Amino acid sequence: QQGERVRANSDSNNLLLGFPCAGGMYGILILQIIKDSQQQHGLRHQDYQRYRGYCSRRLRRLRKTLGFKMGNRHKFTGKKVTAELLSDNRYLLLVLINAERAWSYAMQLKQEANTEPRKRFHLFSRLKKAVKHGEELERLCESNRVDAKTKLEAQAYTAYLTGMLNFELQEWKRAMEALHTCKTIYEKLASAFTDEQAVLYRQRVDEISPNIRYCDYNIGDPLAMNELIQMRLRSGESGGLLDTLITQTRAKQAATMSEVEWRGRVIPVKIDKVRIFLLGLADNEAAIAQAPTDEAKERLYESLLSECRDAIQAVREELRKQRERSLEPDLGKVSILQYLHSYLAYIKLSTAIKRNVSMAEALQKQLNELSQEDGKRVPRPQDLIRVYEIILQNLSELTQLPGLEEDKNFQKEVELKTLAYKAYRCFFIAQSYVLVKKWSEVLVLYERVLKYISEFQTLTSKPTNNLQDLPDMRELAARVNAEKYSLQAAAILDEVSDMVSQLQVKDNKPLAERLEVFSIEPSLVTKHAFLVEFPPHFQPIPCKPLFFDLALNHATFPPLEDKVEQKGRGGLTGYIKGFFGFRG
Q: What pLDDT does 567 receive?
A: 60
Q: What pLDDT does 156 receive?
A: 92
Give the range among 89-103, 379-393, 512-526 with minimum mean pLDDT.
512-526
The pLDDT of 518-526, averaged and rounded, is 72
Sign of torsion, CA 560 563 564 568? positive
Taking the C-alpha atoms of residue 507 and residue 489, their distance in angstroms, rounded to an integer, is: 31
The pLDDT of 240-264, averaged and rounded, is 59
563 band by pLDDT with thresholds 50, 70 and 90: confident
Full-model pTM: 0.53
The answer for residues whose C-beta is within 8 angstroms of residue 148's C-beta and 6 or more apart is none
Quick one: how far is CA 59 from the chain centroid? 40
The pLDDT of 225-235, averaged and rounded, is 52
By the 10 Å C-beta count (0-12 exposed, 13-18 middle, 19+ buried), 18 is classed as middle
Mean pLDDT of the chain: 78
Taking the C-alpha atoms of residue 548 and residue 344, their distance in angstroms, rounded to an integer, is: 117
User: Is the CATH number 1.10.3450.40 carried by domain 16-70+80-169?
Assistant: yes
Q: What pLDDT does 136 receive?
A: 92
579 band by pLDDT with thresholds 50, 70 and 90: low
How open is the CA angle 8-147-30, to the nearest 5 degrees?
Answer: 40
Contacts from 275-279 at CB under 8 Å and sequence distance 24+?
A: 276/247, 276/250, 276/251, 277/307, 277/308, 277/310, 277/311, 277/344, 278/311, 279/250, 279/253, 279/254
pLDDT digits (tens, 9 = 90+) for 398-409: 888 888 877 888
Domain coordinates in residue numbering, the chain: 16-70+80-169, 416-498
238 band by pLDDT with thresholds 50, 70 and 90: very low
Higher model confidence: residue 345 or residue 24? 345
Taking the C-alpha atoms of residue 344 and residue 309, their distance in angstroms, rounded to an integer, is: 9
Q: Determine if residue 491 is left, alpha or beta; phi over 0 gives left, psi from -120 to 50 gives alpha, anything else beta.
A: alpha
The per-residue DSSP string of 75-136 comes to -B------GGG--SHHHHHHHHHHHHHHHHHHHHHHHHTTT-TTHHHHHHHHHHHHHHHHHH
Higher model confidence: residue 550 or residue 187? 187
Contact 501, 521 (CB under 8 A): no
Taking the C-alpha atoms of residue 355 and residue 347, their distance in angstroms, rounded to an integer, is: 12
Taking the C-alpha atoms of residue 369 and residue 431, their distance in angstroms, rounded to an integer, is: 15
Q: Which of 6-10, 15-19, 215-219, 264-268 holds the top average pLDDT?
A: 264-268
DSSP state of 510: -
Count other C-beta atoms under 10 Å from residue 155's C-beta. 18
Taking the C-alpha atoms of residue 471 and residue 360, their distance in angstroms, rounded to an integer, is: 12
pLDDT digits (tens, 9 = 90+) for 437-494: 888 888 888 889 899 888 888 887 765 545 556 777 888 888 888 888 887 777 777 6
Backbone angles phi, psi at 377, to 5 degrees: -75, 135
